[in-house]
Amino acid sequence: MIAVDAASGAACRGFGNNGQVDITVGMGAVVAGDVSISAPPAIVRGVIVTGHQVRSAQRQEAASGVIQGFDVITGKLRWAWDMQQPDRAGAPPLGQAYTRGTPTLLTTPTADDALGLVYVPLGSAAPGQGNGLHDAARQRHANALVAIDVTTGKPAWSFQPVHNDGADDDLRAQLTLVDYPTPAGKVPAILLPTRQGDLYVLDRRSGAPLVAAEAGGALRARLHSLRRATLTERDMWGITPIDQLACRIQFRLAQQDGASTPPGNGHASIQYPGHNGGWDWGGVAVDPRRGVIVANYNDMPDYAAGGEGLLASLHPINPADGWRLPLTRLPCRQPPYGGIRAIDLRTGATLWDRPFGRARGLAPFGLRAGLPVEIGVPNQGGAVITASGLVFIAATTDDLLRAIDLETGRELWRAELPAGGQATPMVHAHQGRHYLVVMAGGDHRLQTPKGDYLLAYALPDKSER
Q: Could you give the CA distance from residue 237 to residue 334 in angstroms, rounded to a whole number?
A: 5
Active-site pick, 34, 82, 168, 170: 168
Q: What are the two backbone dihedrals, phi and then psi, of residue 175, each rounded to the nearest 5 degrees?
A: -95, 160
Question: β-strands 411-416, 400-405: how paired?
Answer: antiparallel
Q: Could you give the CA distance from residue 90 to residue 77 in angstroms, rounded to a whole number?
A: 7
For residue 118, which of 146, 140, 143, 144 has the smallest C-alpha distance? 146
DSSP 398: T
Q: Could you give the CA distance from residue 444 to residue 134 in angstroms, rounded to a whole number?
A: 30
Cα distances (Å, whole numbers) of residue 386 to 58, 78, 269, 311, 389: 42, 37, 42, 49, 5
CA 1 to chain centre: 22
Which runs of consecutive H residues, i.e. helices, occur in 274-364? 310-314
Is residue 112 a contact partner of residue 93, using CB atoms and an 8 Å limit?
A: no
Is residue 307 a contact partner of residue 264, using CB atoms and an 8 Å limit?
A: yes
Q: Does the CA dihedral 339-340-341-345 come out positive or negative?
A: positive
Q: Could you give the CA distance from residue 443 to residue 447 in angstroms, rounded to a whole number?
A: 6
Adjacent-strand bridge partners of 146: 120, 158
Q: Could you give the CA distance from residue 187 to residue 235 in angstroms, rounded to a whole number?
A: 42
Is residue 323 a contact partner of residue 261, using CB atoms and an 8 Å limit?
A: no
71 is catalytic: no
Q: Could you give the CA distance from residue 388 to residue 413 in angstroms, rounded to a whole number?
A: 15
What is the set of active-site residues? 168
